[in-house]
Amino acid sequence: MYGTVRFLLDGELHELVNPDPTETVLNFLRYRLARTGTKEGCAEGDCGACTVVLGELVENDPWAEVRYRAVNACILFVPMLDGKELITVESLKSKDGTLHPVQQAMVDTHGSQCGFCTPGFVMSLYALHENGGKTDRAKINDTLAGNLCRCTGYGPIVDAAEQALTAGVAAHEGLADRVDALKALKRHEMLELTAKSPVTGNEKKYFAPVTIDEFADLVLRYPDATILAGGTDVGLWVTKMHKELAVVISVNAIEGFDAIHESPESPEPIEIGAGATVTDAMDILAKYYPDMGELYRRFASTQIRNSGTIGGNIANGSPIGDSPPVLIAAGAQLVLRKGEAERTIPLEDYFLDYGKQDLAEGEFVARIVVPKPQANRRFRAYKISKRFDQDISAVCAGIGLMITDSMVEEARIAFGGMAATPKRAEAAEVALVGKEWSRPAVEAAMEALEQDFAPISDMRASADYRMQVAKNLLMKAFVETSESAETRLVGDKELAHV
């Protein structure tokens, strides 16, 4: 229906006529529905206290009809619920009062003290449980990386996860009815909302087109509109910067905008729709670039990866985004669209200066094209941050090399956190190309980095630290990819796989 957001909550249809386009789901739950189990901690998608689960229909999946994903309610806007099922911690208890296996396990293992963060932990584990999660400690740790606790420590909570997952997945109550209800909610026309700001009284518009052509027309009509994908960046503009967004255009309902095209038996490149989430893309990228997959495993948290998109991480032009350096090193290209016209550029050419990208008025990022590595391609990706999980990089590096008979034929070296934009290390590349892949050549490239970058000092790292780290990462790549790296002698001892 025009101007109406429709979603399921506890199996019931909720219809909101022209809601505030940028009201967060967290505020909606707490202040409009009095569902106070969902907590506000950081209001920026870091602590996980506000975690809820969204259920969506899955097409072409023989194993499941509905996919459940944990997301942060504090940076999710209410219109983004359209066509989905919303599940909160209050939803989990069965009609006869029986706790969900995850809740019961938290009680049994004493996985809660003050309890403030507990609903978020429960919801993260609920999503893992409902998707058939296995009792794998690494998977549990990754799942909980976006949930912070200052009381219990994670031991009892991990024990709870293992207990709940061992119990297996129970049959969903009324699953068939929920699937039918979600199918009935599928939108075939653009959602268009108009509301007045409760603070200023200014008019606010929200559009959720369902076709790429509608989206292209809207961007031409409203070139200054805020393009909304996962909201992991834009959400903070509202919750932290208190911006009033006059026009928002969401990409979440566009058919095929999140599609990923990959032919395992073909050398054709991988094409990733700009609306594809990090969660959707990371496993496919990891198949061809294992280091890239490991970097994406450390990309924010499960909740952020479930919402944030590869295209959004590029389009915002951040100098510290993790995707651009590693994709540049892989030789990725960017497909931009304006109206009906498309153009393709090397990804590194998109970033012009701080806050400035090669994007014409009315143009948007449509797809990312990532070539598959050739046999003589050596690739490394590194993320240096103060914390292993859920931290912004001080330095992020992508290093791609074509080496034949020990000679460097091509070098693509890119860094984030070293300049005003993600940037290739051109002088360092020149120092390597045409040379033997050897320690002297790498040392020359390390020195050449001082011609490529003049990093700044900030809260994450000093300029000197950044430069030294960048140099060391080049040497690390050499140690890991040189022909003698499999077995090295250190003193009198032989160390395998140094």
DSSP 441-498: HHHHHHHHHHHH------SS--HHHHHHHHHHHHHHHHHHHSGGGSEEEETTEEEE--
* Among the listed residues 368, 398, 379, the one whose alpha carbon sits nearest the alpha carbon of residue 269: 368
Place of tokens 């909302």: 193
The pLDDT value recorded for residue 483 is 62
Tokens at 242, concatenated? 């208190």
pLDDT at 435 over 80: yes
Tokens at 468, concatenated? 């030294």
Rounded to whole angstroms, the Cα distance separating 99 from 106 reads: 10
Check if the beta carbon of residue 330 is closer than 8 Å to that of residue 272: no
User: What is the average per-residue pLDDT within 168-176?
Assistant: 60
Q: List Cα–Cα distances, 201 to 177, 196, 213, 225, 241, in angstroms.
A: 40, 5, 32, 19, 18
The pLDDT value recorded for residue 133 is 63
Measured in whole angstroms, the distance separating CA 205 from the mean position of its chain's CA atoms is 26
- What is the pTM (predicted TM-score) of this model? 0.93
DSSP 324-352: HHHHHHTT-EEEEEETTEEEEEEGGGGEE
Percent of the chain clearing pLDDT 90 (strictly above): 81
Rounded to whole angstroms, the Cα distance separating 437 from 444 reads: 11
User: What is the average per-residue pLDDT within 386-400?
Assistant: 93
- Lowest average pLDDT, out of 6-15, 53-62, 123-132, goes to 53-62
pLDDT at 358 over 50: yes
The pLDDT value recorded for residue 498 is 33
Place of tokens 């932290």: 240
Name the residue type at position 42.
Answer: C
Q: List Cα–Cα distances, 155 to 41, 89, 112, 161, 199, in angstroms.
A: 22, 22, 11, 10, 44
Task: List the beta strands (DSSP E) in 22-170.
Answer: 51-57, 66-72, 85-87
Rounded to whole angstroms, the Cα distance separating 230 from 16 reads: 21
User: What is the average per-residue pLDDT within 210-236?
Assistant: 97
Check if the beta carbon of residue 53 is closer than 8 Å to that of residue 70: yes
DSSP 261-322: E--TTS-PPEEEETT-BHHHHHHHHHHH-HHHHHHHHTSS-HHHHHH-BHHHHHHT--TT-S
The pLDDT value recorded for residue 58 is 82
pLDDT tens digits, 286-330: 999 999 999 999 999 999 999 999 999 999 999 989 999 999 999
pLDDT tens digits, 465-490: 999 999 999 999 999 998 654 434 33
Phi, psi angle pair for 136, to nearest 5°: -105, 120
The pLDDT value recorded for residue 114 is 87
Check if the beta carbon of residue 332 is closer than 8 Å to that of residue 347: yes
Q: SS3 for 366? A: strand
Q: What is the separation, in whole angstroms, between the first and last Cα of the chain? A: 61
pLDDT at 46 over 50: yes
Confidence of residue 19 (pLDDT cuts 50, 70, 90): very high
Confidence of residue 2 (pLDDT cuts 50, 70, 90): low
The Cβ of residue 491 has, within 10 Å, a number of other Cβ atoms equal to: 6
Structural domains in the chain, CATH included, are: 4-91+174-250 (3.10.20.30), 101-166 (1.10.150.120), 377-485 (3.30.390.50)
The pLDDT value recorded for residue 332 is 98
Place of tokens 């219809």: 15
Rounded to whole angstroms, the Cα distance separating 72 from 12 reads: 22
Mean pLDDT (the chain, rounded): 92
Q: SS3 for 77? A: strand
pLDDT tens digits, 116-140: 999 999 999 999 998 876 668 889 9
User: What is the average per-residue pLDDT within 242-255?
Assistant: 96
Place of tokens 């590029």: 314
